[in-house]
């Protein structure tokens, strides 16, 4: 009886340690296996993820601190982690589901705005769409064109201000509905 209890206790301790390490974020490893999934465009400079099925993705979105602080909270932004791997750390855990979306607008200095070809109300917390393959940068996307990619849910790992496309968003631990939100309700 004691041996079984010890085995279960040890297994739970290992699971908790592994979960805690995962929640702290994977250090940047340049898409080393098993986090070797690539979108095929600029997001790959600050994401590491892996397919967990043909239609599901898990991984991390990375930031680097700018050296600035607001009320004692660090300010961070995306960086090219391949160029500065030691400066990058995981800012979010990400979950993704394969989706197709249509680009409805491309505001200057803001996230491209997408509408999903499907109902997103069944996926609470999924607020960001990112396409697969070309073009490499947002500004080369074509309004009105549909792209295949992943709908992403981002979960903040710790507290920081995130500077992105000219806006500053406070990110706290938990589901982040704001920092990368780029979905609109209608394709018209």
Provide DSSP, 112-175.
PEEEESS--TTSTTEEEEEE-SS-SSGGG--TT-EEEEEEEEEEE-S-EEEEETTEEEEE-SEE
- 88 lies in a domain? yes
- 63 lies in a domain? yes
- 14 lies in a domain? no
- 20 lies in a domain? no
- 78 lies in a domain? yes
| Single pTM value for the model | 0.83
Q: CA dist 173 to 3, 153, 155, 177, Å?
A: 37, 13, 7, 12
pLDDT 10s per residue in the chain (188 long)? 444 433 343 333 333 333 444 456 889 999 999 999 999 999 999 999 999 999 999 999 999 999 999 999 999 999 899 998 888 999 999 999 999 999 999 877 678 899 986 666 667 899 999 999 998 887 788 999 999 999 999 999 999 999 988 889 999 999 999 999 999 877 76
- 168 lies in a domain? yes
Structural domain containing residue 83: 27-176
pLDDT at 35: 97
pLDDT at 13: 36
Between CA 84 and CA 169 the distance in angstroms is 23
What DSSP designation does 37 have?
Answer: B
Number of domains within the chain: 1
- 95 lies in a domain? yes
- 124 lies in a domain? yes
């Amino acid at each position: 009886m004691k041996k079984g209890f010890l085995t279960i206790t040890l297994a739970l301790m290992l699971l908790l340690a592994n979960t805690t390490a995962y929640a702290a974020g994977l250090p940047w490893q340049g898409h080393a296996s098993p986090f070797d999934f690539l979108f095929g465009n600029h997001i790959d400079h600050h994401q590491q993820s892996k397919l967990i099925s043909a239609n599901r993705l898990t991984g991390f979105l990375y930031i680097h601190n700018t050296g600035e602080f607001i009320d004692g909270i660090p300010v961070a932004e995306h960086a090219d982690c391949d160029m500065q791997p030691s400066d990058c750390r995981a800012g979010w855990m990400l979950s993704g589901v394969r989706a197709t979306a249509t680009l409805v607008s491309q505001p200057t200095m803001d996230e491209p705005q997408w509408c999903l070809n499907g109902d997103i109300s069944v996926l609470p917390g999924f607020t960001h769409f990112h396409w697969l393959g070309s073009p490499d940068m947002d500004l080369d996307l074509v309004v009105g064109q549909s792209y295949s990619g992943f709908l992403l849910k981002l979960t903040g790992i710790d507290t920081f201000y995130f500077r992105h496309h000219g806006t500053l968003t406070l990110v706290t631990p938990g589901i982040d509905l704001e920092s990368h939100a780029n979905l609109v309700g209608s394709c018209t």
